[in-house]
Structure 1
Amino acid sequence: MPRSAGPATPTARLSDTALPPLDTTSPPWPGEAVPARGGEVFVRYTPWRGPVDGPDDGAPRERAVYVHGLGGASTNWTDLAGLLAVRLEGWAVDLPGFGRSSPPRGSYSIRAHVQVVVDVLERVSAEPGEAAGRPVHLLGNSLGGLVSLIVAARRPDLVATLTLVSPAMPVYRVPRAFSPALLLLLLPGMPAVAERRLAGVTPEQQVRGMVSMVFGDPSRIPRQRLDQALTEMRERAEQAWAHRALARSMRGLMTSYLRVGAANAWRMARALRVPTLIVWGDRDRLVDPALAPRLAGAVPGARLLVLPGVGHVAMLEAPEETARAVLGLIEDAAAG
């Protein structure tokens, strides 16, 4: 069962809406390249399927945008987007330089990623259909969670609800799962050194490292999803910009932690006014789970779901529990 958030922070309500069976054999959702600031980004589309146990007529049909973390891709949301399709049609973006998106013409800064997500949100909101012109539900993981928080703080008109899965909030010590040598990325010229180091790691080694680092219990990963991850890593190894995107985005993330005043993410969190859900695994090795109640306490009215035994990517490791918490947030926001 989810762990209580404590007396000061509302615990996430898990919706009892009927969900479709979780199909971990399904391929990633199809997608296409769409215009965004600095070029194009690849966006995967998950169609609305409607209620599992009732008529489609009059059923809520809303929109969501999903933003992956550092080193991730739009395919990280395949299972969660499929479950949430009972209420949401979804667009999962590959940030510039990741997945199937080309590198940006500009930088890999957090500010640049924020602008890309704003562009995608504006495009999704303007799509013809029942939900045209309405704010969109925004979900982000890790680096994508930090980006989504900043988007919601700066453009609340575009965001209906905000779900943050282990967001990479500013911290001032290197997580134990990382080498302290990462701090060298802040020095001029060091990202190029990191790119050369990354180029020497095989796709198989990358997948093994990813599994041990981001999952609380690697035995939960379906074989098909591991095979898909390896295929993605092999495709990524063919991209000339792949290692640059990872090293430069890591540097952009670390640089963002040095921002003070109104540009500081913790200050933005305290200013959020959209309904917010924070999801964290208590075995997260990349972003300290101790930050979960701190962030939930900073965001006005936020609700918190801490998942025992789960690591950094709850939407992959515990998609059903995460889906029920997201639906609970959306249902309560609509009722309110």
Structure 2
Amino acid sequence: MTTLLSADVEVSGLTGRILWTEGTQPPPAMAPGAPRPAGPAYILIHGIGVSHRYLARLHAVLAEGATTYSLDLPGFAGTPKPDHQLSVEDYGRYIAEALKSSGIESYVLVGHSMGVQFAIEAALYEPDRIRHLILMGPVVDSRHKNLRRQSLALFLDGLLRESPTSNWIVVSDYLRCGPRWYLTELPVMMDYPTEQRLSHVNVPVLVLRGSRDHVAGPEWSLRLSRAVPHGRLVEIPGVGHVAQHMRPKAVADAIRSFVSATSPHT
């Protein structure tokens, strides 16, 4: 089993956590004198209510070939709860500043679900540091623009598409987050104009979904991939919303292939 090491990162009074695989390079600012990563680091960003844990399988596969970090964001995963509601822009700013303070100079942002929204805002906040943007299971699908539809889509995905292990991770993380903070941030997620904000991103963008994902449907995902000049849509066959847990190698292969194909070659 892969062991992840972690360190708290405080930025502007908000405290989150950065994680890396034992035996791999810690964030540069935490290892003075160590060589800098040869290329951009992969940065994995979770969605509402959850943590790095449902990204851990993907983290392990990506870390086999590249510097990889996961984040636990303020208010989630047992980190201190902020004393006020945070906007998606607030979270994007936190991510960008936390990476900067950790000495991570260039990166590929990989967001899942609401983490897609966070990743978009981090990319817009620090455009000179991001190299690629990966949007897995992006929300909120235009078919689910009210709480009833969104909740039903998530419920049916968990009931019909996901494994017992992924459901256990998600439900136990929801309990750690607690209903107060989840419900504080839920309207923020629902109101965020994902497509509009994504259109301002100027790096290659991969939209990735499980072929059975009802939360991020095919039409919505295709539209997002076309909202940017260098966008692509990839589907992982036979899985739902938490594709990175069910098919981590297939997801990692799709990400690495996209990054390689759209990186400048000298």
Q: Distance in 2 between matches of 1:252 and 1:211?
A: 20
Q: Structure 1 length normalisation: TM-score?
A: 0.66
> Compared with structure 1, are the counterparts of its residues 146 and 214 closer, same or farther at alpha carbon in structure 2 (3 Å cutoff)?
farther
1:179 corresponding residue in structure 2: 148
SS at match of 1:332: helix
Structure 2 residue aligned with 1:291, among 212, 215, 220? 220
2:32 corresponding residue in structure 1: none
Q: CA shift at 1:104, angstroms?
A: 1.5
Q: Distance in 2 between matches of 1:168 and 1:307?
A: 17
Equivalent residues in 2 for 1:181-330, closer than 5 Å: 213-214=157-158, 217-218=161-162, 221=163, 223=165, 232=173, 236=176, 242-257=178-193, 265-330=194-259
Q: Distance in 2 between matches of 1:248 and 1:167?
A: 20
Q: Distance in 2 between matches of 1:319 and 1:93?
A: 18
2:42 corresponding residue in structure 1: 64
Q: Distance in 2 between matches of 1:229 and 1:142?
A: 12
Do residues 29 (structure 1) and 4 (structure 2) align? yes
- Report the AA paired with residue 217 of structure 1: R
> Compared with structure 1, are the counterparts of its residues 229 and 302 closer, same or farther at alpha carbon in structure 2 (3 Å cutoff)?
closer
Q: Which runs of 5+ in 1 are unaligned?
A: 1-25, 51-58, 128-132, 183-208, 258-264
Q: CA shift at 1:324, angstroms?
A: 0.5
Contact residue 77 and residue 315 of structure 1 kept, 8 A: yes
1:102 corresponding residue in structure 2: 80
CA RMSD of aligned residues (A): 3.0
Do residues 145 (structure 1) and 79 (structure 2) align? no
Higher alpha-carbon Rg: 1
Contact residue 79 and residue 315 of structure 1 kept, 8 A: yes
Do residues 83 (structure 1) and 61 (structure 2) align? yes
SS at match of 1:88: coil
1:162 corresponding residue in structure 2: 133
> Compared with structure 1, are the counterparts of its residues 230 and 34 closer, same or farther at alpha carbon in structure 2 (3 Å cutoff)?
same
Q: Distance in 2 between matches of 1:272 and 1:100?
A: 31
Q: Distance in 2 between matches of 1:63 and 1:48?
A: 16
More strand by share: 2
SS at match of 1:32: strand
Contact residue 141 and residue 167 of structure 1 kept, 8 A: yes
Q: Distance in 1 between matches of 2:124 and 2:15?
A: 24
Q: Distance in 2 between matches of 1:274 and 1:215?
A: 36
SS at match of 2:235: strand
Q: CA shift at 1:334, angstroms?
A: 3.7
Q: CA shift at 1:165, angstroms?
A: 0.2
> Compared with structure 1, are the counterparts of its residues 217 and 251 closer, same or farther at alpha carbon in structure 2 (3 Å cutoff)?
closer
Q: CA shift at 1:228, angstroms?
A: 5.3
Contact residue 158 and residue 167 of structure 2 kept, 8 A: no
> Compared with structure 1, are the counterparts of its residues 304 and 48 closer, same or farther at alpha carbon in structure 2 (3 Å cutoff)?
farther
> Compared with structure 1, are the counterparts of its residues 147 and 170 closer, same or farther at alpha carbon in structure 2 (3 Å cutoff)?
farther
Aligned residues: 253
| Per-residue deviation, residues 204-242 of structure 1 (Å, max 9, x unmatched) | xxxxx9785347633xx375x6665566566x1xx6xx2
Greater relative contact order (CA < 8 Å, ≥ 6 in sequence):
1
Q: Distance in 1 between matches of 2:167 and 2:20?
A: 22
SS at match of 2:83: coil
Q: Which runs of 5+ in 2 are unaligned?
A: 26-36
- Report the AA paired with residue 307 of structure 1: I
SS at match of 1:161: strand
Q: Distance in 2 between matches of 1:67 and 1:229?
A: 14
Q: CA shift at 1:46, angstroms?
A: 2.6
